[in-house]
């Protein structure tokens, strides 16, 4: 019976926690943000636009924050959840 219940949960679209994709979306968002920030920074340097350079630096900083282990920990994504930090 437990095998059947597990099979039903998987077919119903339940998330499989053993698949190894934990944090995959955050990692993808971090790399995408870093790529856009780097492109903006390089584009701003080439074009001589200070605002584009600043935007690229800000996005690179956001990407750096997304790469930190503290951010990937699910307990720290919602500061009002009542758990100690």
Rounded to 5°, angle at Cα 32 from 60 and 57: 15
Answer yes or no: are the C-beta atoms of 65 and 71 closer than 8 Å.
yes
Answer yes or no: are the C-beta atoms of 63 and 28 closer than 8 Å.
no
Split at pLDDT 50, 70, 90, the class of 68 is confident
* Residue pLDDT, tens place only, 5-52: 555 555 555 554 444 555 688 889 999 999 999 999 999 999 999 999
Distance CA 67, CA 46 (A): 27
Distance CA 36, CA 66 (A): 14
Higher pLDDT, 64 or 8: 64
Instruction: Give the closest residue to 30 by CA, choosing from 57, 73, 60, 56.
Output: 60
């Amino acid at each position: 019976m437990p095998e059947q219940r597990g099979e039903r949960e998987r077919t119903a679209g339940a998330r499989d926690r053993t698949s190894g994709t934990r944090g995959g979306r955050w990692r993808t968002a971090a790399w995408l943000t870093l790529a856009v920030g780097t492109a903006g920074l390089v584009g701003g340097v080439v074009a001589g636009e200070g605002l584009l350079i600043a935007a690229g630096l800000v996005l690179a900083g956001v990407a750096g924050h997304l790469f930190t282990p503290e951010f990937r920990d699910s307990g720290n994504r919602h500061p009002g959840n009542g758990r100690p930090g």
